[in-house]
Structure 1
């Protein structure tokens, strides 16, 4: 598959030449990304389903070929070549590919990612590091409980034996503590981010699933910390999580693209 130019150069491409269907599941490739938007090609094998989720960004789907069904806020929309669908941020939606289905997904500007972290929120998150270290595994265990109850469809992407023996919650707790400690120096976390990103690619984690994890993590922090989870703390962690999610999404898209271009 060809490598497209960066957003700093004008270019043209024939979308059908870029389509590459996997035997099962989803193949995605970023076509263009700048500070305000992102355009990706999604190729879904026939029978692939994406369970209901939300996105924090406005999105537009443009169907290139194939057929599928999009359930957007409870309404079924037939996806056929030429169909264009606008999805407002945080609108629940699910998708099923009835045939091999290819579409362009355009994401609008992501304000939290563009603004980044304020110094105030950086300071708040760093100040919570000792508490995260002490209660981290309790928080992540609670997060998985919430997620597997509210979104049972994601269980298949996890090693449930590692959930049962506590190793996965412990690893995630260590990663969250590391982020809280080095939130103002992400270069120190490059190795950890790269390792986790590769694991996410292997288990076919989708960008949209980060919003699910984020909401469950924030709820778990509130449940475990109680009164210590003040509005200021929760606001800081919400912003911090979104910035980290964007880091992972970008790295994983790089890995996906590299894997399919080699």
Structure 2
């Protein structure tokens, strides 16, 4: 059997990532592709008004916006991000986000 490191996505085909998670009113939907000690890759769909409270991570986190718009707080700075944009949040710096409107993102966390 062939060893696979990525799960929950079809191999050897072009896939529209945003189509893999659907918006649900009042909810955050997630689909994990990789989760191990050095790397985490998760796709999210956030309904408007939903978010992630301020926290810090043991590695650098990058969000790539697939749809919509979010406000991301990194330390004392607020960043608006929309479809096609990426934002990197450095390790050990408190950060959080809120859906300004429905939005989808791919989160990549690279741990130390």
Give TM class, smaller chain: 0.7 to 0.9
SS at match of 2:19: helix
* Matching residue of 2:74: 72
Q: CA deviation at 1:52?
A: 1.2
* Matching residue of 2:3: none
In 1, Cα distance between the equivalents of 2:36 and 2:55?
24
Structure 1, unpaired ranges of 5+: 112-262
Give the TM-score normalised by the residue count of structure 1. 0.37
* Matching residue of 2:50: 48
Q: CA deviation at 1:94?
A: 1.7
The one of 18, 22, 25 aligned to 2:24:
22
For the Cα contact (< 8 Å) 2:21–2:30, is it kept in 1?
A: no
The one of 88, 95, 98 aligned to 1:96:
98
Which one has the bigger helix percentage?
1
For the Cα contact (< 8 Å) 2:44–2:104, is it kept in 1?
A: yes
* Matching residue of 2:85: 83
SS at match of 1:16: helix
Larger radius of gyration: 1
Superposed CA RMSD: 2.0
Which one has the bigger strand percentage?
2
Query: Higher relative CO (CA 8 A, sep ≥ 6), structure 1 or 2?
Result: 2
Q: CA deviation at 1:12?
A: 4.1
**May I ask how many residue pairs the two structures share in their alignment?**
105
In 2, Cα distance between the equivalents of 1:49 and 1:83?
18
* Matching residue of 1:105: 107
Q: 1:32 to 1:47 in 2, by over 3 A?
A: same
Give the TM-score normalised by the residue count of structure 2. 0.81
Q: 1:11 to 1:33 in 2, by over 3 A?
A: farther
Q: CA deviation at 1:35?
A: 5.9
